[in-house]
């Protein structure tokens, strides 16, 4: 008997940069910086953009939607040649390099799903596994790895979605979003004669703006090889990434929660009423959201009060470097602080205020000491965190500043944007509100029991403000 929820693959095609442009006939290469090698073997980031349509029958999808998406993707790749290329590691090169050659392209899978579109693109609790068939895998070998893969899935009479899997060694969240918004921009324009992009969507590739006098790029690469290679061959130069860091259990569920401006204001007032007013605090919307969600997660997990909880988040370094680099810089440019504390510090009535103070200190340390402070130790610290068993890790994926809901391909803004890969890494996903009814959208993947407890703590806490 067939599964009640199935995704049928209709075909796979390779979309190349538009051949009617001389740009597609040029070769292009891009070296990796230390910001890239820091994420060299981190699992790929998977996102889904859901679009609800009034007309979404197969005929309309295959005759209108799909051709427009493919043609505009082809035009977009003229600006984003690295995405059409591959990551390679030549035998004469100390580190991998991104190369594009004519006829390279992006694999695009086309599929059809009979799943409940409204449920998967809504805020309600649903099985996490149902999303995984909507994003493609990067087909890697030891010697070559694609940069992105795409999947376009039709939900008959409901809408469609675009799933993107991005290699983390090449793209951070800002760069990935810039590409998707560029693709959407050209698709919505519908003008095949002029494929120019506005300045804010035009990628900046100059790697000379990233200074690395300490050789962090090779240091991080060496640390990754030591961490991922076997004892028999500790220096094996393989590009393969384990895309499933952990199996997604059947009882893992997802849900989305919102915080409004009024909630943020009330949370700030609550923190100030609990802590020493003489100590200056950085109580941004991010700090308050991170602290409040972290407190609810720690309480939902329960367990012994003396267990360790690790906290971490990545900060965009573009504006924090000296001198700052352009906002449209293409590649990774994120680094961030890590901290740890005992769970019991966050379990009493002052737990949220304590978490806010911790998050505030992490941000202030970043601002005071600079984003590159102790950069040599960052990857080692990260390995220490993920290798320790029994510890709760709370991290962040995405940002409300990316503007993901601005990705309008011509059929309206997304109904929902989901970061699927938090299922594997255990992160919180953050985005701006779709319609302005809230300030921040929070995505979580937890087991059923923890999700039920978290939801109760989260909503009850807001009612008590």
Which residues have a Cβ under 8 Å from the Cβ of 373 and sit 6 or more positions away? 365
Could you count the other beta carbons within 10 Å of the beta carbon of residue 376?
A: 14
Tokens of 114: 């009979």
DSSP H helices in 93-205:
117-120, 129-132, 173-189
Angle, alpha carbons 410-414-416 (nearest 5°):
170
Closest of 294, 273, 218, 246 to residue 31, by C-alpha: 218
Closest of 377, 391, 398 to residue 310, by C-alpha: 391
Gap between the Cα atoms of 335 and 258, Å rounded? 26
Which residues have a Cβ under 8 Å from the Cβ of 423 and sit 6 or more positions away? 128, 131, 132, 248, 252, 254, 445
Residue 336 buriedness (CB in 10 A; 0-12 / 13-18 / 19+):
middle
Does 20 qualify as catalytic in the annotation? no
Angle, alpha carbons 443-444-446 (nearest 5°):
165
Does 282 qualify as catalytic in the annotation? no
CA dihedral angle for residue 93, residue 99, residue 102, residue 106, rounded to 10 degrees:
140
- 3-class DSSP assignment, residue 78: coil
Gap between the Cα atoms of 246 and 227, Å rounded? 17
Pick the catalytic residue from 251, 258, 384, 408: 408
**CA dihedral sign, ordered 229, 235, 236, 238:** positive
E strands, 123-215, are: 126-127, 144-146, 148-155, 159-166
Gap between the Cα atoms of 41 and 36, Å rounded? 10
How many Cα atoms occupy the beta-carbon half-sphere of 296 within 13 Å? 23
Pick the catalytic residue from 43, 167, 168, 263: 168
Q: How far apart are the first and last CA of the chain?
A: 50
Task: Cite the active site residues.
Answer: 168, 408
């Amino acid at each position: 008997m067939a599964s009640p929820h199935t995704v049928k693959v209709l075909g796979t095609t390779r979309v190349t940069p538009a051949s009617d442009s001389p740009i597609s006939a040029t070769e292009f290469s891009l070296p990796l910086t230390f910001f890239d090698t820091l994420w060299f073997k981190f699992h790929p980031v998977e996102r889904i953009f859901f679009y609800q349509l009034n007309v979404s029958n197969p005929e309309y999808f295959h005759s209108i939607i799909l051709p427009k998406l493919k043609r505009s993707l082809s035009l977009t790749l003229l600006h984003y040649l690295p995405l059409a290329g591959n990551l390679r590691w030549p035998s004469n090169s100390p580190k991998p390099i991104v190369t594009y050659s004519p006829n390279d392209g992006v694999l695009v899978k086309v599929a059809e799903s009979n799943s409940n579109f409204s449920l998967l693109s809504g805020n309600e609790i649903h099985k996490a596994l149902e999303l995984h068939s909507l994003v493609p895998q990067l087909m890697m070998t030891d010697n070559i790895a694609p940069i992105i893969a795409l999947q376009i899935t039709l939900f008959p009479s409901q809408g469609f979605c675009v799933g993107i899997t991005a290699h983390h060694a090449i793209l951070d969240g800002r760069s990935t979003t810039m590409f998707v918004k560029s693709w959407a921009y050209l698709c919505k324009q519908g003008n095949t004669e002029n494929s120019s992009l506005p300045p804010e969507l035009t990628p900046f590739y100059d790697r000379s703006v990233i200074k690395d006098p300490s050789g962090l790029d090779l240091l991080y690469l060496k640390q990754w090889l030591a961490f991922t290679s076997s004892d028999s061959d500790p220096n094996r130069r393989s590009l393969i990434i384990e895309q499933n860091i952990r199996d997604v259990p059947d009882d893992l569920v997802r849900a989305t929660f919102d915080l409004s401006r009024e909630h943020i204001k009330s949370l700030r007032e609550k923190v100030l009423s609990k802590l020493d007013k003489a100590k200056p605090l950085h109580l941004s919307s991010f700090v308050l959201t991170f602290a409040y969600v972290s407190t609810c997660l720690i309480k939902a997990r329960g367990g012994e009060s003396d267990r360790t909880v690790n906290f971490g988040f990545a900060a965009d370094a573009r504006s924090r470097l000296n001198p700052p680099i352009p906002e449209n810089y293409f590649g990774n440019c994120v680094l961030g602080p890590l901290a740890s504390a005992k769970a019991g510090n966050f379990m009493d009535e002052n737990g949220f205020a304590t978490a806010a103070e911790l998050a505030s200190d992490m941000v202030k340390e970043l601002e005071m000491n600079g984003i590159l402070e102790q950069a040599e130790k960052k990857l080692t610290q990260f390995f220490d965190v993920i290798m320790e068993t029994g510890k709760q890790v709370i991290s962040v994926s995405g940002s409300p500043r990316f503007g993901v809901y601005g990705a309008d391909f011509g059929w309206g803004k997304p109904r929902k944007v989901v970061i699927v890969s938090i299922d594997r890494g255990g992160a919180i996903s953050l985005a701006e509100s779709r319609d302005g009814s809230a300030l921040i959208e929070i995505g979580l993947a937890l087991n059923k029991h923890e999700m039920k407890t978290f939801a109760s703590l989260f909503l009850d806490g807001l009612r008590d403000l």
